[in-house]
Every structure is written in structure tokens, then in C-alpha cells.
Amino acid sequence: MSVDRNFPSTRLRRLRKSANLRAMLAETQLTVSDLIQPIFIKENLSGREAIKTMPGIDRLGLDIVNEEIDDIIQTGIKSVAVFPVIDESKKDETGAQAAIEENFINGAIRNIKESYPELVVIADVALDPYTTHGHDGILNETGDVDNDLTLPALRDQALGLAKAGTDIIAPSDMMDGRIKVIRDALEQNDFVNTLILSYAAKYSSKFYGPFKDAVESAKFFGNKTKDTYQMPISNINEALQEVAMDIQEGADIVMVKPGMPYLDVVKAVKDEFLIPTFVYQVSGEYSMLQTAINEGLLSKEVIIESLLAFKRAGADCILTYFAKDVAKKIK
């Protein structure tokens, strides 16, 4: 049988013919510096406690946090995002604990920054770990989150976190105007070098399900929704508006969340604004992949594939529960 060797004249497969060539021509790289490890720190816990809905992820007691951070830093990871699991007795209608300077998470952050001054510590601003209803803000008479009533609470929470030594304040509450209120408060209190990472395009997503279990707010939240403040899953123009607003109000970095189902949003944000853009591969995405891997349905290479997709879409850094394991692999 004769083969026409003149066709096709363009052979993209030439570019793929060896592993070395493929590595040289890779358009996107995933490096350890791109990875941020979220950790759950639980009040009154000693040691570790497995999170049922997040196979392989534990809540950590204060006594074991440094051991975990040692392990994380060893891999070359430069940043952690801390989430508190608050004692039930400290939760109330208005999430008052959030604003208390000597609260649990501020103490934990102080300890972490004392032992690891170079580690970039990111902390969430939102009231949900502290409220008995599990919403991110303070409710009005009709049971909806009251935007303007919530802003001062978020401001005070942010100031407490900044005083504790948090490097990056990350409002995840989606109230309008919160970036400005927090930025002003930071400026007025001499925290001019504290960064704000705005969860700017945060969708009202069911992929956060396991997180609610992780921070033990599931039973408080029940099957309500956050639809009146988190973004409609159908919208992208609105995401660009959210990002524009947050940049204008003083955000240094913006985030898109969840990750994999919203790659179009990551790309649009990066293309439009050219500012540091993070993405959060959230709890549900983690559990989905990890469970499929544990069951033998997928090979674990899907993890790096999922993370590289974020880089290809334009993300600078990725919050992912896979961070430590991936960092060990690619270091």
C-alpha cells in the first residue's frame, strides 16, 4: 500500500514525539509555589480527627498544628489558609466571637506566625463558623442576611485577624462594600501591608457541601441556601462586575470559587483585569476526585490534570486540599 508522505505537511505530532520535547514545549507549568494548603483547626481538640466527607483530610488540634505545618513547609509550600472549627457553646445569632480579638483562631494564628514567620497565612473573613444559623452574616427580621449590619462585624473580624499577624485577609462572605470597609479599617489601624484576597466571584455552589461538615456547621445550616449573597451559578458578566468592584475597593488579589466548574470565569477574570487571580478547588471537588481515586475509578494523575487546568485558565495560585501531596510529587 502506498502512503503519501507529503500530506499532511503540518504535523503537530512532531512536537510530541519525545518526553523531553513535550517538557520543553509545555505552555503551562505547575510549581510548588502555586499551591496553597487549607487547614482546619479545631478548638478543644487534641491530635487529629478525620473529616468523614473529605477522605484523607483531618481537623487538627492546636497541639498538632505545628507538626502538620512542618510537613507542609518541607514540601516547599509557602502558604496555608486556616479555617477554625469553633466550639458549639461559642456560637450565637450574631457570630459575636468572630470580632473578639483573643478568639480561638487569632490565638492559633499568633502561634503559627511566631513559629513560622515566613509562612504566608491566609484567613477567611465571614461569620459562618460563629453563627448558630450558619450564615455568613447577621440576619434581619425576615431571616435574610443584612448587608449593612454585617459590614461592621466583618471589619472587626478582619482587624482581629490582622492584629494576630495574618498576612492575607480573605473575605469570603460576599457582602457588598466589604472590601472597602476592611481596607479603610486596615489603613486607619496601620496595617497598610496586610493584603486583601477577595473571594470576588464566589458562587452559590453545592460543591461546598463537605466543607460544612469539615467546619461542623452542616447541622446548623441545614438545607438553607446562600443564594441572596453568593453568586448565581448561571452568571459570568456579574462575576466580572464583582471583581471590578472589589479591585476598585482595594483588593490586592481576587479569587474565583469553586474551581473546575468555573474555569471560564477564571480565564475571563484574568484576561480582563490582569491582576493576581487565585482559584479555590473546593471541598466537593476534592472529595469527588479523591473518592474516585480511592475506589479505583480514576488514577491519581487526574489531580495534577485538574490543577494544571487552573494554570492554563490563568490562575496564579490554587487553594487545594491536594496541595501537600502534589507538592511532594512535583518538588
Reduce the DSSP state of residue 277 to 3 states and report it.
strand
For ligand PBG, which stretch binds (CB under 6 A), given 22-30, 104-112, 122-130, 293-301? Answer: 122-130
Provide the mask over 267-296, with x wherever binding to ligand PBG is found by CB under 6 A and - wherever it is not.
Answer: ---------------xx-------------
199-228 residues near ligand PBG, rule: CB under 6 A: 208, 211, 226
Kindly list the catalytic residues.
Answer: 202, 257
CA gap 213, 302 in Å, rounded: 25
Selected from 34, 43, 58, 136, the binder of ligand PBG by CB under 6 A is: 136
Of 45 and 125, which has the nearer Cβ to ligand PBG? 125
The whole-angstrom distance between residue 64's C-alpha and the CA centroid of its chain comes to: 22
172 binds ligand PBG (CB under 6 A): yes
**Are the CB atoms for 159 and 151 separated by under 8 Å?**
no
CB of 128 to ligand PBG, least distance (A): 5
For ligand PBG, which stretch binds (CB under 6 A), given 121-129, 140-148, 152-160, 245-253? Answer: 121-129
242 binds ligand PBG (CB under 6 A): no
Reduce the DSSP state of residue 166 to 3 states and report it.
coil
82: CB partners within 8 A, 6+ apart = 38, 39, 41, 105, 108, 109, 112, 121, 122, 123, 124
b (16+ CB within 10 A) / e for 125-161: bbbbbbbebbbbbbbeeeeebebeebbebbbbbbbbb
Provide the mask over 75-114, with x wherever binding to ligand PBG is found by CB under 6 A and - wherever it is not.
Answer: ----------------------------------------
Size of the site for ligand PBG (CB under 6 A): 10
**Are the CB atoms for 193 and 165 separated by under 8 Å?**
no
Residues of this chain that interact with ligand PBG (CB under 6 A) are 124, 126, 128, 136, 172, 208, 211, 226, 282-283
